[in-house]
Structure 1
Amino acid sequence: MAFRKRIRRSYQRPIVSVIIPARNEEACLEACLESIVEQDGIPFEIIVVDDGSTDGTRKIAESFSAVRVMSAPPLPEGWCGKSNAVAFGARHARGDWFLFTDADTFHKPGSLARAVGEAEKHGADLLSYSPEQVVKSFWERAVMPVVFAELAETFKPREVSDPRSPAAAANGQYLLVRRHAYELIGGHASIAHTLLEDVDLARSIKEAGGRLHFRYGGEMVKTRMYRNFRQLREGWTKNLALLFPDARQLAAQRMLEFAWIAAALACGTAAAFFQRFFIAAGFTALAVALWTKFLGRIRKAHFGAFSESLAIFGLPIFAWLLRRSVNSYAKGAVTWKGRSYPAPPEEPVTKPVAEKV
């Protein structure tokens, strides 16, 4: 009732607080902030929460006169760094809407006003876009389409956006949430222990009776998540076991899929070499059928043809990352951005003590 009572359309222009947690983001923060300060059509403020950066992150943020720069408070026991940083920013924000977005995002002109309009149109308490994924290296092009194809299969936007469905998901790179909804569920304090804060925030809002609106938003925002293999390995090790509950089974399925495609191609090639053309035709047909099915799944991830062609090499890497993620949690801890996190507890922990900016 609290959500439905509050969801009357407002005819005042809402104020958006854009909250960006930043920990050693000097490589991308400037471009992110430049894309946000140029937004128009809606009143907004920008808050960067420096989460213990040791590089030039804070200096870059302070070079923008329109940006409020804060220091995240010490990390309370049981909290994850990102949740602690954005919770601190939210407590100092003035907006009717909060946009939680990452430092490695780039926001298209006018996207902020359009996003709020879209959320209002759909009566959403939380709107989330899955950004266009910018990929440049071989590892990015091979692995990222495979991961995002699996995400598209697991978290179907139509089901997530359906209030009758229990499905809930969001992408933490772009989370636009009504302040009232955020505060009603207890904010990030209610999910402080989880490393999958985007999905859990969406789930909490939906379980409380709020509405979600989730879709691919490549025309609104883009990002390059990982710039080298080490970052890619560390990031997906943190997330994959949490995103896919049957991670071991999925790893086996994808490894088997790769083996079947590779074996069919190898056998077809060998048969043709030995002039067993009927057998070669059979194996070639099998390889084409398997490849077509694989490509149909990959195309749901919104990557270009070149990346789609390399995604076959991402299958065994994805399977390895899945197993690595499961094993890391089984051992009791994962590492992310220089911090080691234990396996999350069953119950939420207490809120951090507010500190001065």
Structure 2
Amino acid sequence: MEAAAPTTVVLPTTGWNDACKQVAAQLRSGDELLVVCDDPLESVAERVDECVDVRLIVAGEPEGCSGKANAIAAGMEAAETERIVWTDDDFYHPPGWLERLRADYDRQGPTAEVPVFVGRDPLAAVLEPTHAISGTLAVFFANIPWAGSLVFERSDLEDEAAFLTDLRRTISDDGLLMEHVEFATVARTRRVGIGGSIRETLENQVRFVQTVRYHDPTGLAAQGVLGAALTAVCVLFPLPAFLLTTTLMAAVYAAFGIRRWTFLAAYPVALAALPLLCYGLARRSFVWGGRRYRWRGKFDVAVETAGQ
């Protein structure tokens, strides 16, 4: 039997947490976990020193890109293996998570799992049907890579140096990766908390819309047409639209094992689809991870402190 390919897991985080421990426990001989932080946090360094095959990578402050993209680029540069896994620290990594991704790659090449976003504030909860469509259903059927859980190899990138250069001048790491590597998605979902306050949920909405704007303009146009059509149908035929949207959303939830009452919000979310899209396009900046970003073009990003 051919030996399993050594794997580097790149995990951007702001501190040592459960996700770090969960991934570290799944490493095989030859694997490595790179815990990537903006600053050389002593508390993280101490925990890393206690673990075999785990390293702290200091990415530094981002300049002209998002903190996440900067961290991924630093992790990629520090990685010592051919096979790379990207993941996030905001969901549970069950035993066997890494092994499944490894097997996925051996079977079909670059592979990503799909997220299920769960609201942590009232507005984020009401908007869950939007995320179920665009963040789960569309991601699965369009084979869009989700940076929270994916695997690929360096050789899948035509020009890794150019890719890393581009990462350091944009916002969306998985949006950029989508343009460089063809992925297959698998119907394994990871439950990810989103929001926390109404303000944070609105900021996320702006980021999501602008990611589609710069990385999938055709998809954005389709969203605009669909949003306008949904709004019109919901206004003109409220009762049939309520029954149809709720039933279809219940089917989507069932297909991906989402057991949440929020499918009942499908009708008001459909009414709000076009206004939410317009809001995301109209905003000139958004806050993410304590920084304010002005995303003026795919490779034109200004980074400020959140208070500016």
TM-score, structure 1 length as denominator?
0.69
Provide closer, same or farther for how the CA distance between residues 314 and 290 of structure 1 changes in structure 2, counting only shifts above 3 A: closer
- In the other structure, the counterpart of 1:130 is 114
Instruction: Give 2:98's aligned residue.
Output: 112
Alignment of 1:157-172 (within 5 A): 157=141, 160=143, 169-172=144-147
Task: Quote how far apart the aligned CAs of 1:213 are.
Answer: 1.7
Matches within 5 A, 1:177-196: 177-182=152-157, 184-186=159-161, 187-196=163-172
Instruction: Provide the C-alpha distance between the structure 1 equivalents of 2:293 and 2:172, rounded to a whole number of angstroms.
Output: 12
Q: Secondary structure of 1:20's match? A: strand
Separation of aligned partners in 2, 1:248 and 1:174: 28
Find the structure with the greater CA-based Rg.
1
Gapped regions of structure 2 (runs ≥ 5):
213-218, 302-308
Structure 1 residues without counterparts, runs of 5 or longer: 1-9, 161-168, 207-211, 265-284, 350-357
1:195 partner letter: I
Q: Counterpart amino acid of 2:86?
A: F
- What is the count of residue pairs matched by the alignment? 290
Contact kept? 2:70, 2:167, Cα under 8 Å? no
Please give the secondary structure, in 2, of the residue aligned with 1:224: strand
Cα separation, partners in 2 of 1:236 and 1:61, compared to 1, 3 Å:
farther
Contact 2:69 2:172 in 1 (8 A): no
Q: Which residue of 2 aligns with 1:201?
A: 177
Q: Following the alignment from structure 2 to structure 1, what is the Cα–Cα distance between the partners of residues 26 and 7?
A: 11
Residue in 2 that maps onto 1:63: 47
Aligned to 1:148: 132
Mapping of 1:1-357 within 5 angstroms? 11-23=2-14, 30-39=17-26, 43-52=30-39, 59-60=43-44, 62-64=46-48, 65-66=50-51, 67-76=54-63, 78-122=64-108, 124=109, 126-135=110-119, 137-152=121-136, 154-157=138-141, 160=143, 169-182=144-157, 184-186=159-161, 187-206=163-182, 212-218=183-189, 221-243=190-212, 244-246=219-221, 247-260=223-236, 263-264=238-239, 287-289=242-244, 291-293=246-248, 295-296=250-251, 302-316=257-271, 318-328=273-283, 331=284, 333-345=285-297
* Separation in structure 1 between the aligned mates of residue 194 and residue 281 of structure 2, nearest angstrom: 21
Q: Structure 1's 112 and 291: CA in aligned 2 closer, same or farther, altered over 3 A?
A: closer
2:17 is paired with a residue whose SS is helix
**Greater share of residues in strand:** 2
Query: In the superposition, relative to structure 1, how do residues 108 and 260 fare at CA in structure 2: closer, same or farther (>3 Å)?
Result: farther
Alignment TM-score, normalising by the size of structure 2? 0.78
CA contact (8 A) 2:65 2:168 kept: yes
Q: Is the 8 A contact 1:35 1:107 kept in 2?
A: yes
Give a deviation string over 1:303-325, Cα, whole Å, max 9, x none.
22412123434344554432221
d(CA) in 2 for partners of 1:229 and 1:308? 19
Give, in angstroms, the shift of residue 74 of structure 1.
3.6
Identity value in percent: 17
Offset, 1:71:
1.8
Q: Which amino acid aligns with 1:205?
A: V
Kindly report the root-mean-square deviation, in angstroms, between the aligned alpha carbons of the 2 structures. Answer: 3.2
Per-residue CA deviations over 1:226-257 (Å, capped at 9, x if unaligned) read 33333222122111243241254444334345
Hey, what does 1:268 align to over in structure 2? none
Equivalent residues of 1:15, 1:44 under 8 A apart: yes
